Structure 1
Amino acid sequence: MKKLTILFVFAFILHACDKDDSFTPVCDIVTNVAANSITRNSAIITWNNTDDSASYTLEYGISGFVLGSGVIVSETNLSTQLTALQANTTYDVYIQTICSSNNLSSYTNVYSFTTLEPAVVPELRPTLSELNLFSNNLYDLNITSLAFEYNLNTTLFSDFAHKQRLIALPDGTSMTYDGDGLPIFPDNTVIAKTFFYNNNERDLDEGRRIIETRVLIKINGNWESGNYKWNGEQTEAFLDLDSSILPVSWIDNDGITQSVNYKIPSNTDCFTCHQSFDNLKPIGPKLRSMNFNVNGSNQLQGFIDNGRLNGITNSTSVRSLPNWEDDTYSIEDRARAYLDVNCASCHIPGGQCEDQSDTNFAYETSLVDSKIVERKETIEFRISDYNEGISMPLIGTTILHTEGVELIQAYLDTL
């Protein structure tokens, strides 16, 4: 009897619901939410729904915002464009379907997207962060995806400072092959080099001290230079064209505390080394200096393959400057490579010292034309000790590079 009563009640409810004209279908939650045409400050949000008569409320904000506190957008279509967004920022989006004033769906689960990184600014702005060369925390030196790091097989000695080098090319452009030396850079190229010391070479977790970031920008066919000095808090670097001295100490790989009075060059000092026939130009990113393996693959070939360097198809067409520390090369090749990087910017036709000296330390210059043999004693004297205004190089270092001097002396002893 009890079972019959339950069945009767259930049947009555079904019959009553069937006759209830006020029954409202459930308002469906939208599906397939997506972000398209994402730029640095905008994105188009799309979604799907089978109800052609529905409208929608979209709420968005920086990732992690509380629903109800975001920006509200009302929409009758299956897409909407969000504008005035912040670059390199993740946003959360929620969408609600409105079938009628009293029939709303639940909000979708959160959908997130990230805007593109800000464009690199090819101008000497007051602060380094304004150039957009790095993403997020400036101290981390995370290079923007719109720039790329480059390395040199033999590097300039700068009082044992470490360096991070980068190139930012304008959108849709590339470097152009022009022989083994410097490539042709398009206008609005930005080249930057950041100098820093690890606090403890044996434990990099102890952090580093960033000193300066030197910047070259090509504008209307000419290069402009500027130097950004980092503050003590390591949160920002400021454009400063004057020279200054900064005491720096660190623990080397042998556990010995080292110290230097690091000299940040003035803009005039930079021109001294970076001039060629009275025009400012880059020194480091010559193709022959970048033509070597980095992390197991040829760096220059990588630039070719990813479209950063055109006019050439294979890195084997470019000579390679030897690594002066690689003793598989002859002592002559190593010493000449060291002289090229550390001395040839001035001791070369068109360089600062052309009128004072007839030496030509460019690696590709023959020994006869280099005048190294004829000037052997002068070279020995100028590199053997550090005396400001006399020692070579004249600027860029404040201490003797013992390993480099020993290499050059050993080479001179063979002549």
Structure 2
Amino acid sequence: MIRKIGLLSLLFVLLSACSNDDADQLIAACDAPTDVTATAISHHSITITWAANDTSSSYRVEYGLSGFTVGNGTALITSNTTVLIDQLEPNTSYNVYVQNLCDTDNESLRTALYNLSTTAAPVIPEFKPQLSELNLFLGPLNSLSISPQAIPYELSTPLFTDYAHKQRLIALPAGTTMAFNGDGLPIFPDQTVIAKTFFYNNDERDLSLGQHIIETRILIKINGTWQTGNYIWNEEQTDATLDSEGSTLPVSWIDLEGTSQTANYKIPSNTDCFTCHANANTVKPIGPKLRSLNFDIDGTNQLEQWISNQQLSGVSSSASVRSLPKWDNTSVSLEERARAYMDINCAHCHIPGGHCEDLSTLNLAYETPLEDSDIVEQAFLIDYRMSFYLDGISMPLIGTSMQHTKGVDLIQSYLNTLD
């Protein structure tokens, strides 16, 4: 108690000793800025603005990665109530605060730390030397984490490629949409990028054991024309290099039954890509036909999602689009499943204008009536060309090195029902 009284007395004496001139120099701290907002957010910069609530000669803006220690960030001094923060990393969270510097000996409290994030870098619609330069993925490339600037998609019945898994995505230029054009391919705007990455899980029973990524095939629409390119992944799985030559790569994996499997995976050349993707000498995508996209994924219809997100225009409901059935959905008729399988695996060549137009009378597009498809007349030949694997003779002609046994069983079962 005696000590407390002594301290209070000492403080009283010191205050009493201050002259009026000294008291005038004890200026209250100036007010902190308010209404801090972020505008013009891009993948590499953010503009910060605020309201000044006190006379100020300048302001301090400090920023750093989210969670940075105040005082250890990057500081900017400005006399304006707005500042551009640039040279930032894309798709990254930052903290920022603003402080009034009223004079050399007087500054306000700091504003609260504001959390801000840059956008993902725009997808580059060019065939750069390395896949990473296209900005299709976030973080480590081999995570295959799709950029929010791109749209992942799946097909109801996919193309068979030696049991490889595939990740598919479409990247549209900012402010554009795909346009409805019937059940087939939508109309894609120029600078659209379509990518398909092929990989094998090391062990299908345990996905935590990783994957082996083989290639990423790219289509880019440039001045109204689709161009093809192929990126081959390096052994380190850190990036992929543009390659037009094609090659064969031995791959191995363990299937769901625990059996070791191998394949001599064929990476296509640019000539191979043209063979399958060309129709009447014009390159086109094969997979993303609207009828192949019109189905539910995790309870949500894929096309409805695109329409809702304004990524597909010219159609108000998925009900306006035919649905290509899943080839292995046994609740659908055998004929529908077999025709769907032939549509995605064979029809890019066996249609008018396709690579095999002058070599075969078959028209295997799903919408072609059976009596116009020549399937009945060519049933024996179809069965023969699919019943074994011999390079250059077996069907499909390009992109496989083995039979798809379940697919062959499906087609043979269907052919056996035909007169």
CA shift, 1:333, in A, is: 0.7
Of residues 57, 60, 71, the one that matches 2:60 is 57
Return the alpha-carbon distance in structure 2 between the equivalents of residues 17 and 302 of structure 1: 73
Aligned twin of 1:329: 332
CA shift, 1:24, in A, is: 2.4
Q: Secondary structure at the match of 2:24?
A: coil
Return the alpha-carbon distance in structure 2 between the equivalents of residues 71 and 397 of structure 1: 55
C-alpha distance after superposition, 1:229-258 (max 9, x if no partner) = 011111101100111111111111111111
Aligned twin of 2:40: 37
Query: After the TM superposition, which residues 349-388 of structure 1 pair with which residues of structure 2 at under 5 Å, given as runs?
Result: 349-388=352-391
Change (3 A) 1:377 1:44: same
Return the alpha-carbon distance in structure 1 between the equivalents of residues 70 and 176 of structure 2: 42
Return the alpha-carbon distance in structure 1 between the equivalents of residues 106 and 55 of structure 2: 15
Q: Secondary structure at the match of 2:99?
A: strand
Return the alpha-carbon distance in structure 2 between the equivalents of residues 23 and 181 of structure 1: 77
Query: After the TM superposition, which residues 7-406 of structure 1 pair with which residues of structure 2 at under 5 Å, given as runs?
Result: 13=14, 15-16=16-17, 19=20, 20-63=23-66, 70-105=73-108, 107-108=110-111, 110-406=113-409
Change (3 A) 1:227 1:21: same
Identity of aligned residues (%): 56
Q: Secondary structure at the match of 1:163?
A: strand
Q: What amino acid sits opposite 1:42 in the alignment?
A: S
Q: Secondary structure at the match of 1:26?
A: coil
Contact 2:48–2:82 at 8 Å: present in 1 too?
yes
CA shift, 1:95, in A, is: 3.3
Change (3 A) 1:23 1:363: same
Return the alpha-carbon distance in structure 2 between the equivalents of residues 176 and 200 of structure 1: 40
C-alpha distance after superposition, 1:328-354 (max 9, x if no partner) = 111111111111111000000000000
Give me the TM-score of the superposition, normalised by structure 1: 0.94
Q: Which runs of 5+ in 1 are unaligned?
A: none
Q: Secondary structure at the match of 2:98?
A: strand
CA shift, 1:409, in A, is: 0.5
Return the alpha-carbon distance in structure 1 between the equivalents of residues 355 and 6 of structure 2: 108
Return the alpha-carbon distance in structure 1 between the equivalents of residues 413 and 90 of structure 2: 54
Count how many residue pairs are aligned between Structure 1 and Structure 2: 415
Cα RMSD for the two superposed structures = 2.2
Return the alpha-carbon distance in structure 2 between the equivalents of residues 282 and 54 of structure 1: 60
Q: Secondary structure at the match of 1:53?
A: coil
Change (3 A) 1:7 1:88: closer
Q: Secondary structure at the match of 2:226?
A: strand
CA shift, 1:8, in A, is: 6.8
Q: Secondary structure at the match of 2:163?
A: coil
Return the alpha-carbon distance in structure 2 between the equivalents of residues 34 and 316 of structure 1: 43
C-alpha distance after superposition, 1:161-181 (max 9, x if no partner) = 000100011111111111111
C-alpha distance after superposition, 1:215-239 (max 9, x if no partner) = 0000111000000001111110110
Change (3 A) 1:394 1:10: closer
CA shift, 1:104, in A, is: 3.3
Q: Secondary structure at the match of 2:337?
A: helix
Q: Secondary structure at the match of 2:205?
A: coil
C-alpha distance after superposition, 1:193-223 (max 9, x if no partner) = 0000011111111111111000000011100
CA shift, 1:66, in A, is: 5.8
Contact 2:56–2:101 at 8 Å: present in 1 too?
no
CA shift, 1:69, in A, is: 5.5
Give me the TM-score of the superposition, normalised by structure 2: 0.93
Change (3 A) 1:12 1:48: farther
CA shift, 1:86, in A, is: 3.3
Higher mean displacement: 181-190 or 18-27: 18-27
Q: Secondary structure at the match of 1:180?
A: coil
Contact 2:34–2:53 at 8 Å: present in 1 too?
no
Change (3 A) 1:281 1:12: same
Q: Which runs of 5+ in 2 are unaligned?
A: none
